[in-house]
Amino acid sequence: MRRHTGSDVIVVGAGLAGLNAALHLQEGGARVEVLEARDHVGGRVQSMRQLGHSQEAGGTYIGAGYERITAVCARVGIELVDVTPMLAFFREQDLVLDGELIRQSEWPGHPRNVLPESFKTQMPWTLHRTLAAQDNPLPAPERWLDPEFSVHDVSVRSWLTRLGLDESGVRIAYDLNPSFGNHAGDVSALLLFFRAAFSVAQRRLAPDGVLGYTVENGVQRIPAAMSDLLDEEVQFGKTVTAITTGNHEAEVRCASGDVHVAPHVICALPVGVLRDVIIDPTPPGLQGEAFRSLASQPVTQMYFGHRSRFWDEDGHAASLFSNGPVGMLAAARNGRDPKEVTSFTAWNMGPNARKLDSLPEQDAVRTVLKEIEAVRPASKGKLEYLGLKAWDRDPYTRGAWAYYKPGQISRFASEMGRPHGRIQFCGEHLSRIARGMEGAMESGEKAARTILGM
């Protein structure tokens, strides 16, 4: 056993939350030690290189109002690329229901469209987002944890039913390829309201006409540049198995047998991974319940190159949205010309992702290609498999992002980020004002300031 001492704070996890916490601590005069289980930084920000293009497996786009992220990029000299021209094409996708390809122009009068009359012009992938913005009780995103809004901590199914959708309408509006939970009964409507309020706030902060950014050669350059600013290099291959918090110091044990000791610890692990760590003493009450029960979203992305513009041959949009194993097939445009399709990503979420994850990789690829070719014969033999990322199977993430089930926000969202002895917790699941990458940065900053203010 090797015992390491000398630092003021040990940061566990080198994702955006952990790195931002470490930088703030360092700037505050603290000696910081960052432990990371993998061989690279970034956490759930991961750029994958295939055929000369960066496929963003995590941290897909940077919100135009992400003030913390853009400030870091300005500090380290990373130029942000405006993706607004590319994002416009995401609206151009056709719908596939049970193998039937339906053009957007056909949807309002299509027999499969069981939505109420006032909603029939909305495509399934936009409806619940539109309704969450229109029916939002939150005056600002930071108000989502106020007790007065806990009445909205009900299922998305209950909320959509109140708006006039029946069970078949709810399935169309939410369940086809859900980005939170397994179905509309599995996720809190208050979470959707928080996301919608955050999006509105982002638009106010964004430069005129800009929807978002990316980074040339990969968004993962951002955490890599952040780690370069640290006085002490990130220590890789450090899988933390236990954290003990005492009266005067905290002890972090690693699978390698190393023990790291410091007065404070910041734990920046995803909640699914945190459950693998023995914390002594165990977090009590609602905080412990939160760590045991908060769910993370299964997301599996499959990447394809293309040998020809088959969408020109069949006259359909390049992208499609399906309730089958292809999920959302998004045509990526990572070149200089936003009209040029550079690759495709099939996004499967919730139960769709779990079905793919249960298969051997080549069987999963054949399953997705089979559906694409069945609804679009012109694509047969035109797609080249490049690789996949299954976040639910990744032992360092155990899912793509956290989500709340009905009732969980009002029950323990305010409790789970509290300090536990000499441990501070941070991560995107603990953000209070922002979401996504900006939320991770926010939570890391808060954890660092708490320690510096002690």
CB 34 within 8 A of CB 268: no
CB 429 within 8 A of CB 294: yes
Distances (CA, A) of 420 to 145, 252, 286, 359, 423: 21, 14, 12, 40, 5
CB-CB neighbours of 284 under 10 Å: 11
Distances (CA, A) of 435 to 265, 282, 408, 430, 440: 23, 28, 17, 9, 7
pLDDT at 332: 86
The domain segmentation of the chain, as residue ranges, is: 3-44+216-294+404-452, 115-205
CB 194 within 8 A of CB 435: yes
Residue type for position 99: G
pLDDT at 50: 60
Domain 3-44+216-294+404-452, second-level architecture: 3-Layer(bba) Sandwich (3.50)
What the block records as the tokens of 143 is 């108000």
The upper half-sphere exposure of residue 196, i.e. CA atoms within 13 Å in the direction of its Cβ, equals 19
Average confidence score pLDDT of the chain = 94
Residue with tokens 């797609």: 383
Relative to beta strand 278-280, strand 319-322 is: unpaired
pTM over 0.85: yes
With cut-offs at 50, 70 and 90, classify the pLDDT of residue 1.
low
pLDDT at 135: 96
Distance CA 256, CA 209 (A): 50
If residue 445 lies in a helix (H) or strand (E), which one and from where to where?
helix 436-452
Distance CA 195, CA 81 (A): 24
423-425: strand order across its sheet: 32-35, 9-12, 264-267, 423-425
With cut-offs at 50, 70 and 90, classify the pLDDT of residue 335.
confident
CB 152 within 8 A of CB 189: yes
Question: Is 49 a residue whose pLDDT tops 80?
Answer: no
Write out pLDDT tens, residues 257-310.
999 999 999 999 999 999 999 999 999 999 999 999 999 999 999 999 999 999
| Across 226-247, average pLDDT | 97
What the block records as the tokens of 290 is 């939160």
With cut-offs at 50, 70 and 90, classify the pLDDT of residue 8.
very high
pLDDT at 57: 86
CB 27 within 8 A of CB 11: no
Distance CA 10, CA 263 (A): 8
Q: What is the CA radius of gyration of the chain?
A: 22
